[in-house]
Amino acid sequence: MAFKKDFAWGVATAAYQIEGGAHEADKGLNGWDVGSATPGRIFEGHSGDVGCDHYHKFKEDVALMQKMGIKAYRFSVNWARLIPMGTGKVSEDGKRFYTQLLTELRAAGIQPWMTLFHWDFPYVLYQRGGWLSPMSPAWFEEYARVCAELFGDYCDHFILINEPQVFLGEGHFQGKHAPFLKLSAGEVMRCAHNVLLACGKAEKIIRKTVSHPVYIGTAQAYWPALPAREEDYELAERETFGCHEDFGSVNYYTDPLIFGRYPAEFEAWQKRCGFTYAAKDMDIIQSKMDFYGANTYSGDYVTLKEGKAVRLTPPPTTPKTDMRWNVHPDAFYYGTKFLWDRYRLPLIYTENGVALAEWKDLNGEIKDYSRIDFIKRYLRALSRAVDDGVDVGGYFYWSLMDNFEWAEGFSKKFGLVHIDYETLERTPKESAYFYRKLIETNGEEIWK
Distance of closest approach, residue 335 Cβ to ligand GBH, in angstroms: 12
Contact code string over 80-119 relative to ligand GBH, x by CB under 6 A: ----------------------------------------
Number of residues that bind ligand GBH (CB under 6 A): 12
Q: Is 220 in the site for ligand GBH (CB under 6 A)?
A: no
For ligand GBH, give the closer residue by CB, 286 or 296. Answer: 296
Contact code string over 332-351 relative to ligand GBH, x by CB under 6 A: -------------------x
Q: Is 239 in the site for ligand GBH (CB under 6 A)?
A: no
Instruction: Give the residue, chosen from 223, 253, 374, 397, that forms a contact with ligand GBH under the rule CB under 6 A.
Output: 223
Helix (H), strand (E), coil (C) string for the chain: CCCCCCCEEEEECCHHHHCCCCCCCCCCCEHHHHHCCCCCCCHHHCCCCCCCCHHHHHHHHHHHHHHCCCCEEEEECCHHHHCCCCCCCCCHHHHHHHHHHHHHHHHCCCEEEEEEECCCCEHHHHHCCHHHCCCHHHHHHHHHHHHHHHHCCCCCEEEEEECHHHHHHHHHHCCCCCCCCCCCHHHHHHHHHHHHHHHHHHHHHHHHHCCCCCEEEEEEECCCEEECCHHHHHHHHHHHCCCCCCCCCCHHHHHHHHHCCCCHHHHHHHHHCCCCCCCCHHHHHCCCCCCEEEECCCCEEEEEECCEEEECCCCCCCCECCCCCECCHHHHCHHHHHHHHHHCCCEEEEEECCCCCCCCCCCCCCCCHHHHHHHHHHHHHHHHHHHCCCCEEEEEEECCECCCCHHHHHHCCCCCEEECCCCCCEEECHHHHHHHHHHHCCCHHHHC
Distance of closest approach, residue 107 Cβ to ligand GBH, in angstroms: 27
Other residues' Cβ atoms within 10 Å of the Cβ of residue 107: 10
- One-letter identity of residue 304: L
Distance of closest approach, residue 96 Cβ to ligand GBH, in angstroms: 25
| Residues assigned a catalytic role | 163, 351
Distance of closest approach, residue 109 Cβ to ligand GBH, in angstroms: 26
For ligand GBH, give the closer residue by CB, 384 or 413. Answer: 413
Separation CA 445–CA 379 (nearest Å): 10
For ligand GBH, give the closer residue by CB, 47 or 295. Answer: 295
Q: Is 162 in the site for ligand GBH (CB under 6 A)?
A: yes
Instruction: Give the residue, chosen from 47, 286, 295, 321, that forms a contact with ligand GBH under the rule CB under 6 A.
Output: 295
For ligand GBH, give the closer residue by CB, 152 or 171. Answer: 171
Distance of closest approach, residue 208 Cβ to ligand GBH, in angstroms: 28
Distance of closest approach, residue 213 Cβ to ligand GBH, in angstroms: 27
Instruction: Give the residue, chosen from 160, 166, 205, 348, that forms a contact with ligand GBH under the rule CB under 6 A.
Output: 166
Contact code string over 412-441 relative to ligand GBH, x by CB under 6 A: --x---------------------------
Distance of closest approach, residue 167 Cβ to ligand GBH, in angstroms: 9
Instruction: Give the residue, chosen from 80, 125, 221, 416, that forms a contact with ligand GBH under the rule CB under 6 A.
Output: 221
The interface region with ligand GBH, picked from 69-77, 158-166, 178-186, 425-433 by CB under 6 A, is 158-166
The interface region with ligand GBH, picked from 30-38, 160-168, 232-240, 251-259 by CB under 6 A, is 160-168
Separation CA 47–CA 45 (nearest Å): 7
Strand partners, 157: 113, 215
The interface region with ligand GBH, picked from 124-132, 162-170, 327-335, 378-386 by CB under 6 A, is 162-170
The residues of the shown chain that bind ligand GBH, judged by CB under 6 A, are 14, 162-163, 166, 221, 223, 295, 325, 351, 398, 405, 414
